[in-house]
Amino acid sequence: MSIIYFLIGCSVLLALLFLGAFFWAQRTGQNDDLYTPSMRVLLEDEQPEEKESDRNHF
């Protein structure tokens, strides 16, 4: 049963890792704007490459 000491150590370490990741995300401003990205994904990227391919045909 002593393995529990080790397991708890592992789980706490893992949890701390996630906490650290959250802090990092917070510091770098990833949670500053939670609304705009949801709109951004709906916009299509236009393909400027199309023109280049047109050019290749000539």
Enumerate binding residues for another protein (CB under 8 A): 1, 4-5, 8, 11-12, 15-16, 18-19, 22-23, 26, 31-33, 35-36, 39-40, 42-44, 46, 48
Q: Which of 44, 13, 46 is nearest to 5 (CA)?
A: 13
Phi, psi values for residue 16, rounded to 5°? -60, -35
C-beta of 43: minimal distance to another protein in Å? 5
Rounded Cα distance between 7 and 11, Å, is 6
Q: Tell me how far, at minimum, the Cβ of 53 lies from another protein, in Å.
A: 15
Shortest distance, CB of residue 55 to another protein, whole angstroms? Answer: 15
Give the amino acid at 52. Answer: E
